[in-house]
Structure formats: structure tokens, C-alpha cells
Structure 1
Amino acid sequence: MYRFFVEPSQVEETVIRICGSDVNHIKNVLRMKTGEEILISTGETMEYTCYIEEFLEDEVTAHIMYAQEAGYELSSKIYLFQGLPKSDKMEWIIQKAVELGVHQVIPVATKRAVVRLEGKKEVNKQRRWQAISESAAKQSKRMYVPEVSHVMSFKEALAYAKNLDVILLPYERAKGMQETKAIINSIKPGQSIGIFIGPEGGFDEKEVEQSMDEGAKAITLGKRILRTETAGLTVLSVLMFALEE
């Protein structure tokens, strides 16, 4: 069953009015018909099961069959601070991170990042990344679309993460697996978590020191060296398993 997202203002007593780009997607891409059932979320805790009632020129009306509280989301909000990778790797990272339950993705311009995004180029990239997040959220039955923020400097990212309950930093010089397991097991459901992932060249030593000064906990991901597009998803997978209720 296809899922769509709307603003709470689009929900009436028995009808939800779908507008924007989803109208064309429903009509001309999916070629759906009246009577077909769909799922609609307002980004809150309720999920609506509806059937398509009517096609208008610039909107689709969906009749609410029933609403239920859905438990698809993790109790903890997880923030992925991803050092800007080369090529289109960021698109793949965002897609998979959303599938794994991330709350927000924050692209970070670290010292060793080769990619530099500024001005119109950054705006276009962010728009593209947000569209990928929305598509992944629909596919994985998320209750809301995780935000992909503007690109932050490393200093800005640390300041943004300052109020989170836990900050994790996968680092090749971190202590053994037992210490990492203890850190993961100490995280309680409901706590907010930040994951800092470096670009292809990893973090600069000063960036690691600054992270530790702000309370980040260094963890190991095992004896193998993981690519930047694998490391964050590995931590997200571990946290999903540990925190899923």
C-alpha cells in the first residue's frame, strides 16, 4: 500500500486533501483509481488508512476509513552528522539512513572533505537530498520525512549536537569492542543520539580532540576499516537493534 505525507491542516473530519507533487504522482505515475487504498501520515503519531475518493484538477481527495496509532518510529531520535563524501555517495547514505530510522541527517564540511558546496550548488543538492529522504520515508513506512539540513561546518555541527544525550564517534584508535558494547548498552530508549562520521579521509586529529572535549564517546566498529558510506549505517543498524521496542 502506497504512503503519502500531508500537513495536519489538510486533514478534515472524514477527508484528507492531497495536493502538490503527489497529485501528479498518484494520477500519472502510479495511475491509481478511485477506490484504491492508501496510507497517509501527517508526521505525527497517527496513521490514516484511506481510499481515493475523487480526482480534482490540483488535488486528490482521500476518504478516511480509520486512523490508528502506528509504532514504526524508534523511541530515540538519532542524528547522523555525515562528513561530505565524494560523488553521489551522500544520496545512498541518506536513503539507507532513513530506512534505518534516522531522525535527521546533517551534512558536515570537515577539514579532510574533498567536496565543497556553496551557494546555489548547495541549495540544489539539499533539495535533491530532501527528495531522496521523502522517497525513502514513503518506502519504509516512516511516520514523517527526516530532514536533511543545510551543510554545517564542523564547529557548527558540534554546537548543534551539544544538547544531545549521547554523541558517538567511530574512530580507528578507539578502545576495544568490550568498551564499545558497554557504551551502546548504556544508551536508554528515548535518549537523543548523535553519530559523527568522517569523510573518505577520516577526521582530522584536532576534530577528534574537539569532539572529545564536547563529550563525544569514541567507539570501534571492529577490526575492519569501513568506508564512510558504510560506517554510519553500521552504527544506525546497531542502535536500531538495541533500541527497537
Structure 2
Amino acid sequence: MQRYFNTEIKENSFYISGDDFHHISKVMRMKIGDHIICVTNDGRSAICSITKIADDYVAADVVQWESSSKELPIQMTIASGLPKGDKLEWIIQKGTELGAYEFIPFIATRSIVKWDEKKSLKKLERWKKIAKEAAEQSQRNRLPLVHTPISLETLLNNSQKYDRKLIAYEEAAKHGETSTFVQVLEEIKKGESLLIVFGPEGGLTPNEVQLLIENGFYSCGLGPRILRTETAPLYALAAASYHLELLR
């Protein structure tokens, strides 16, 4: 069944408009009586039956609320040093499928691409659309938050709200550090938040790492191999899923 987010709910009926209305009525050519899954803004999902297809909205009544959740037991935020090309789109798409709670691009010293504020709104809309489509495909209960790129200083200021904070640092991996990430996954409790910072191509500078450590971050390695900027976040998410979902 097709899954739709950000739907308006009144009593026991959902109302779907905008692009999703077009998708239901024009692309999928659904009819009254067809079943879809609607997801509320607070993460509840329900199997619904379409009861009305109007000129600009679709109404669907709840048939059965779903009891299971597809979300990671922790809120895992990926902070990526702004990479070049479409690498961030790849991180957002695949990271959403793997359960990321939030994506925060930041402008690192070694970020090759220069952020164009004039194109920021259009770019952000594209990233959010990619996350939405990936969340629908992977049957998630929540849309991950996707932010416009920020400075490292802003990232440090905002980091105070997270329960756990890590830096995926290639120098730590080169020196064989393997315990910090595992320890965090063993200690973290359901519902807690974890922020992991990843560098762009070329990695984080020693000064950036020092600033992060001074603000409560711990440096960690992600195994013996050095991973690309678009690979490392997916590795971390997959490892968290394995440790927190498959082993428990």
C-alpha cells in the first residue's frame, strides 16, 4: 500500500492535498474504496479507505491503526560536512531508509563546494522531497528533519540538546580506535538522541576536531578501513540498527 505523510486528520478521517493528492488521483488513479496508509505528524500510521476524491483533495477513513513502528529506538542525527556533487542527496536518501532522525549539513573548512544562499530554498526543498520519498518507500513512521547548511559554530551551539555526541574521525580509525562507538551503542537508552559528525572530502581539520571535543564530543573510529564521506554515515546507521534492533 502507498504511504502518505503530513496528512490532515479530523476525527477519524484523513484529508490529503497537494502533490500527494495528485499522486493518488492522477498517477496511481486510485478509486473510492482503495486502501492507503496515512501517517500523522506525531508518527502514528493507519490503514485507510478512500471515501472521497474531490477536485483538490482526497478523504480517507481509518480502517485500522497500526501498532508497530519502523523507527530506530534512538534518535540518530547525521551532521555532514557539506560534500560536493550529489553526495548529500545520497546520504539523505539512504540514511532515511536506514532510520536517520535528522540531517544537518554544515560548512566545514575542507568543504569543496560553496553554499549558494540564493539557491538554498530550492536545494532544501529537493532534499526534503528525497527524504519524503525514501521514508514512504521504507515504510517509516516519521519524516526525518532536513536542515539548510549551517556553520560549525552554529552546530556546536545547537549540539547541547543531544544526549550523546560523537565524531567519526579517520585519524582515530587509523590508530585502531574501535571501542567508543560500541560503548555508546551499549549504553544509550531507548528514546535518547545521538549526534554523529562526519567530515567532507578531505576530512575534518585537527582544529575542528579539537573544537568539537571541547564541546563534549568524543572521537571514534568506524573500523579499520577509511570510508568515504557518503559511506561513513550509512555504516554508522547500519551498525546502530544491527546493535539496537537485530541483537535485542
TM-score by length of 2: 0.92
Seen in structure 2, the aligned counterparts of structure 1 residues 179 and 144 have a Cα distance that, compared at 3 Å, is closer
CA contact (8 A) 2:170 2:203 kept: no
1:157-196 Cα shifts (integer Å, max 9, x gaps): 1111122111111112225224443343222222210010
Contact 2:47/2:62 (<8 A) preserved = yes
Contact 1:80–1:196 at 8 Å: present in 2 too?
yes
Query: Which residue is equivalent to 2:59?
Result: 61
Q: Which residue of 2 aligns with 1:83?
A: 81
* Pairing 1:1-245 to 2, within 5 Å after superposition: 1-7=1-7, 10-174=8-172, 175-244=176-245
* Identical amino acids, percent of aligned pairs: 37
CA contact (8 A) 1:80 1:232 kept: yes
Write out the 4+ residue segments of structure 1 that deviate beyond 6 Å after TM superposition: none
Q: Displacement of 1:131 after TM fit?
A: 0.6
Following the alignment from structure 2 to structure 1, what is the Cα–Cα distance between the partners of residues 43 and 116? 36
Amino acid in the other structure paired with 1:213: E
Q: AA paired with 1:5?
A: F
In angstroms, what is the RMSD of aligned CA positions? 1.5
- Would the aligned equivalents of 2:39 and 2:141 in 1 still touch at CA under 8 Å? yes
C-alpha distance in 2, partners of 1:145/1:183? 25
What code does the residue aligned with 1:196 have?
V
AA in 1 matched with 2:26: N
Aligned partner letter, 1:121:
K
- The answer to whether the 8 Å contact 1:46/1:70 transfers is no
- Secondary structure at 1:122 match in 2: helix
Following the alignment from structure 1 to structure 2, what is the Cα–Cα distance between the partners of residues 78 and 237? 11
Structure 1: gaps of 5 or more residues: none
Contact in 1 for aligned 2:69/2:140 (Cα 8 Å)? no
Q: Any idea what the Cα deviations from partners look like across 1:36-69, whole Å, max 9, x if unmatched? A: 1110011224211111122100001112112233
CA distance in 2, matches of 1:176, 1:114: 28
Q: SS of 1:162's equivalent?
A: helix
Cα distance in 1 for residues equivalent to 2:184 and 2:66: 35
SS of the residue aligned with 1:229? coil
Aligned length: 243
Given the superposition, is the C-alpha separation of residues 19 and 167 from structure 1 closer, same or farther in structure 2, using an over 3 Å criterion?
Answer: same
Q: Return the offset for 1:113.
A: 0.1
If the length of structure 1 is used for normalisation, what is the TM-score? 0.94
Note the alpha carbon deviations across 1:128-176, whole angstroms, 9 max, x for none. Answer: 1011111111111111211111111011111111221111111122252
